[in-house]
Amino acid sequence: MRKVIISEFITVDGVIEAPGGGHDFRHAGWTMPYWSDTIAQFKSRELFNAGALLLGRKTFEHFAAHWPNSKHDFADRMNGLPKYVASTATVQTALWTNSHAIAGDLAAGVKKLKAEPGQDILVYGSGKFSASLLRHGLVDELAFLVYPVALGEGQRFVEDSPRVALKPIETREMDKGVTLLRYDVAKA
């Protein structure tokens, strides 16, 4: 069975909003001063080890506006992977090649994806959607790149998240004070 892995850029005060910029959030792009080859290599390995992307609607629409216009190995992988978007609203999956909507029951749709053969399923961004996945017991692993900055405002990962027990599986210092924290999510 494939795992669902949520991967987030996160501040020490739990903010995940607009890490790369391109939003109206006044602190958008807060990860950029800390970017390094070490982080790029980790994110590349993470993406190339995944067999699909699973995204909430807002993240999907933001990515669909950006990645098809990019030309490099990471972008090629983002564009080539199957992408699944969960939303109660109508989603224009035609915006991005190889995209599919999960219609109806979210839990049933994700369980079906997990049961398919292949590499793990990666969730980027998608804070509210990630919390929903956690509430349904569908997350197997969390990977946080924790940045040494506190913003004091913005969407936090834990805002709508249920209580979950985590088992540390990796802690690694990256460059410029960024720390990787990886956890297995305990099943009830």
- Name all domains of the chain by residue range, CATH numbers in brackets: 18-119+137-178 (3.40.430)
Check residue 17 and report its DSSP letter: S
d(C-alpha 33, C-alpha 158), whole Å: 24
What tokens were used for 183? 């956890």
91-120 pLDDT, tens digit each: 777 779 999 999 789 899 999 999 999 999
pLDDT of residue 188: 62
11-26 pLDDT, tens digit each: 999 999 999 887 789 9
What tokens were used for 9? 């850029």
**Contact assessment for residue 31 and residue 11, using Cβ atoms and an 8 Å cutoff:** no
What's the pTM? 0.94
Helices (H) and strands (E) in the chain, counts: 5, 8
**Contact assessment for residue 141 and residue 71, using Cβ atoms and an 8 Å cutoff:** no
**Contact assessment for residue 55 and residue 83, using Cβ atoms and an 8 Å cutoff:** yes
Of the candidates 5, 6, 9, the one whose C-alpha atom is nearest the C-alpha of residue 178 is: 9
pLDDT of residue 134: 93
List of E strands, 12-140: 50-56, 83-86, 99-102, 120-124
Enumerate residue ranges in the chain where pLDDT < 50.
Answer: none
pLDDT of residue 88: 66
